[in-house]
């Protein structure tokens, strides 16, 4: 009998490749969605869809019931209270219901900068609280502290222009989403991956400007790359009452101050080191486009 895994956040940038990889590796994959119809239209018929909302614990019970594992990939924001409400509150609800239903493994996407010294930032604070809720559930867990994902580079492009926001001095080991998904799936297969907090890094390090320039040179050679100071983006977000724009400014301020942390060697040893280089990934994106 196939083991069943529920993916929470399966329609997102990082949830989709995880759901597809788990299915490829032989799991029966359930998808939790507020609108199963929209989720099915995006993901297709390979999954079993359940209607539910992470803020309503009672709506999670049927989706979790009978699952071997649950993978959590939630996105909070744009306001500080939304991180606490969705990322932490939703994760805590899922962990509590999962424990009551006898789930045997839970996995969660955290971040490579998720440390107590960075808890001044709302997103990090919510992730730290989420990790604590998972540990306290008593379910064997694997927490993935992933660095920046290559797929996020497309967000820098708007029309014929790409923007580097702020100075962004840190060199980051950019990780392809498909490599991340393979590591998540492998963690469900290995008892040795239980009760681990693992750091996931790609094979090469680039600054944000280097990565965006590489992406544009290969995928969008007609796009011009420029830079904008964080204070200007923040000002535009405030005067236009645009919380999403303000969140981007706040994120870039955080990334400008804080780089990667942790050691990826244990994750690479257990789950297989990511191999996709930035250039390889960019060429794949060009072929897809």
- Mind listing the pLDDT tens digit for each residue in 112-122? 999 999 999 99
| pLDDT tens by residue, 167-218 | 999 999 999 999 999 999 999 999 999 999 999 999 999 999 999 999 999 9
| pLDDT tens by residue, 117-157 | 999 999 999 999 999 999 999 999 999 999 999 999 999 99
Q: Residue 164 domain-assigned?
A: no
Which pLDDT score is estimated for 4? 98
Q: Residue 76 domain-assigned?
A: yes
**254 with 121: CB under 8 angstroms?**
yes
| pLDDT tens by residue, 19-76 | 999 999 999 999 999 999 999 999 999 999 999 999 999 999 999 999 999 999 998 8
The pLDDT > 70 percentage for the chain reads: 99
What are the strands of the beta sheet with 224-228, ordered from one edge? 157-158, 161-165, 224-228
Using a 10 angstrom Cβ sphere, with 0-12 exposed, 13-18 middle and 19 or more buried, the burial of residue 167 is: middle
Which pLDDT score is estimated for 80? 83
Q: Which residue range forms the structural domain that includes residue 131? A: 4-146+177-200+261-274
Which pLDDT score is estimated for 289? 62
Q: What is the pTM of this model?
A: 0.95
1 pLDDT higher than 80: no
Overall number of domains in the chain: 1
Q: Supply the CATH number for residue 90's domain.
A: 3.40.50.720
Q: Residue 182 domain-assigned?
A: yes
- Mean pLDDT for the chain? 96
Q: Residue 141 domain-assigned?
A: yes
Q: Residue 11 domain-assigned?
A: yes
Q: Residue 41 domain-assigned?
A: yes
Q: Residue 169 domain-assigned?
A: no
Question: Angle at CA 247, nearest 5°, toward 162 and 130?
Answer: 120
| pLDDT band at residue 12 under the 50/70/90 scheme | very high
Q: Residue 235 domain-assigned?
A: no
Which pLDDT score is estimated for 76? 82
């Amino acid at each position: 009998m196939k083991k069943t895994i529920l993916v929470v956040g399966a329609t997102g940038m990082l949830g989709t490749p995880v759901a597809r990889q788990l299915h490829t590796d032989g799991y029966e994959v359930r998808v939790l969605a507020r609108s199963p119809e929209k989720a099915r239209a995006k993901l297709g018929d390979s999954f079993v869809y359940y209607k539910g909302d992470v803020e309503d614990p009672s709506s999670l019970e049927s989706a979790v019931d009978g699952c071997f594992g649950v993978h959590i990939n939630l996105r909070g924001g744009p306001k500080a209270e939304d991180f606490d409400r969705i990322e932490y509150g939703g994760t805590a609800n899922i962990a509590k219901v999962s424990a009551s239903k006898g789930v045997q493994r839970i996995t969660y996407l955290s971040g490579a900068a998720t440390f107590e010294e960075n808890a001044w930032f709302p997103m990090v604070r919510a992730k730290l609280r989420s990790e604590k809720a998972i540990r306290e559930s008593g379910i064997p867990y694997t927490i993935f502290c992933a660095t920046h994902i290559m797929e996020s580079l497309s967000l820098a492009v708007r029309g014929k222009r790409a923007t580097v926001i702020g100075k962004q001095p840190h060199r980051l080991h950019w990780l392809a989403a498909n490599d991340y998904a393979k590591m998540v799936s492998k963690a469900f297969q290995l008892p040795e991956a239980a009760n681990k907090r693992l750091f996931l890094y790609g094979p090469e390090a680039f600054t944000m400007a280097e990565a965006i320039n590489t992406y544009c040179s290969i995928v969008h050679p007609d796009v011009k790359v420029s830079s904008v100071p964080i204070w200007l983006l923040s000002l535009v977000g405030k005067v236009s009452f645009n919380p999403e724009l303000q969140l981007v400014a706040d994120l870039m301020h955080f990334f400008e101050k804080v780089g990667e942390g942790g050691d990826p060697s244990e994750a690479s040893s257990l789950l297989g080191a990511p191999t996709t280089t930035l250039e390889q990934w960019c060429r794949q994106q060009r072929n897809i486009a």
